[in-house]
Chain A
Amino acid sequence: EAAVTQSPRNKVAVTGGKVTLSCNQTNNHNNMYWYRQDTGHGLRLIHYSYGAGSTEKGDIPDGYKASRPSQENFSLILELATPSQTSVYFCASGDAGGQDTQYFGPGTRLLVL
């Protein structure tokens, strides 16, 4: 079974503060993804990566940066957090791009006050 872990699992941040969400996968998958889930919107893609050193913009990248320092790790960075970024964030990994199964982490619940 594929293993994707996320930290922290819950986070409370202040408006204007910096938030870093971390994701680790032990499946040696090339591709990793960051999504946010909001009621009524399903999952929306923020950033994704094809491998170490690469990051690509997804559908809603504004206000977010991403970093892929290694095959295993993919971070999502909110430099100046805003209340509109309150959401549940999921990391996923997979191979074969979008044409194969993605394995999701447990999610991070972020509240920006």
Chain B
Amino acid sequence: GEKVEQHQSTLSVREGDSAVINCTYTDTASSYFPWYKQEAGKSLHFVIDIRSNVDRKQSQRLTVLLDKKAKRFSLHITATQPEDSAIYFCAASTPNYNVLYFGSGTKLTVEP
């Protein structure tokens, strides 16, 4: 089955700087790539996604890039704020399987 990896378990940036979280996947058939945010002690909520028919998607300060050739996708957060501090999970899904495969999460800390 699909395997999604997040190689950065932690990431620390200064407020106002940009943060980049990277993920890789293994199944070339994967076509849907969402990102979820989990604040301390809370549940997960959806932040942004990208589908394989595009290679870039932006929503306010968030941008997702998809490199299908390298089987890699990334979340870019610009002008980081303390409230961006959280664990970010990437995930992938193929059309044949009605499930999401999650990475292990990256804990982002935005320092004042």
On A, residues with C-beta under 8 Å from B are 31, 33, 35, 40-45, 48, 50, 58-59, 90, 97-107
**A97 vs B100: C-alpha distance in the bound complex, in angstroms?**
9
B98 touches A31 (CB 8 A): yes
A106 touches B43 (CB 8 A): yes
**A107 vs B46: C-alpha distance in the bound complex, in angstroms?**
15
The smallest beta-carbon distance between B62 and chain A, in angstroms, is: 15
Residues on the B chain within 8 Å of A42, using CB: 6, 89, 102-105
Residues on the A chain within 8 Å of B26, using CB: none
B83-108: which residues lie under 8 A (CB-CB) from chain A? 89, 93-95, 97-105
B99 touches A43 (CB 8 A): no
Question: Which has the most chain B C-beta neighbours within 10 Å: A33, A41, A43?
Answer: A43
On B, residues with C-beta under 8 Å from A are 1, 6, 9, 31-32, 34, 36, 42-46, 49, 89, 93-95, 97-105
A98 touches B93 (CB 8 A): yes
Beyond A31-B98, A33-B99, A58-B99, whether A40 also contacts B104 by CB under 8 A is yes
The smallest beta-carbon distance between A96 and chain B, in angstroms, is: 8
Question: Which has the most chain B C-beta neighbours within 10 Å: A40, A102, A106?
Answer: A102
Residues on the B chain within 8 Å of A58, using CB: 99
Question: Which has the most chain B C-beta neighbours within 10 Å: A31, A98, A105, A107?
Answer: A98
A90 touches B97 (CB 8 A): no
Residues on the A chain within 8 Å of B45, using CB: 104
13 A-B pairs within 8 Å (CB atoms) are namely A40-B104, A42-B103, A43-B89, A48-B98, A48-B99, A58-B99, A97-B93, A98-B93, A98-B99, A100-B32, A104-B43, A104-B45, A107-B43
**A98 vs B44: C-alpha distance in the bound complex, in angstroms?**
16
The smallest beta-carbon distance between A106 and chain B, in angstroms, is: 5
**A73 vs B8: C-alpha distance in the bound complex, in angstroms?**
36
**A100 vs B31: C-alpha distance in the bound complex, in angstroms?**
11
Residues on the A chain within 8 Å of B101, using CB: 45
**A90 vs B89: C-alpha distance in the bound complex, in angstroms?**
14
User: Which chain A residue has the least Cβ–Cβ distance from B92?
Assistant: A98
